[in-house]
Amino acid sequence: MRSWIIGLFVLSLVGVALILVGGTALVAIGVACMGIAAVGAVSLTFFAVGRSEDEARAEEEAARRAEPPGPNGDTRLTSRRPPRSRGDN
């Protein structure tokens, strides 16, 4: 991923250089390079967020599988709410 970041940065620098050199065609190509670099940066950001979510989900699944089974041998919760008070305290 680091190489993609470097590549997008270089592409944006090329775009800036072409815009500074001037000329109608060079400015158009420079703006296109900057646009491609911007779209690539946003896409790379979404890719990084999605990959970190996938890793977190895999860690949760591994932790869930590593939990010992409940007292009856199953993994279900034994009690979903506290016991009721029936006045026999």
Q: What is the pLDDT of residue 78?
A: 58
Kindly report, residue by residue over 41-84, the tens digit of the pLDDT: 999 999 999 999 999 898 888 887 876 655 565 555 555 666 67
pLDDT of the residue at 64: 79
User: What number is the average pLDDT over the span 3-14?
Assistant: 93
Say yes or no to pLDDT of 12 above 80: yes
The arithmetic mean of pLDDT across residues 5-33, rounded, is 93
* C-alpha span between 36 and 47 (Å, rounded): 16
**Predicted model pTM:** 0.62
80/27 Cα distance (integer angstroms): 66
| Residue type present at position 27 | V
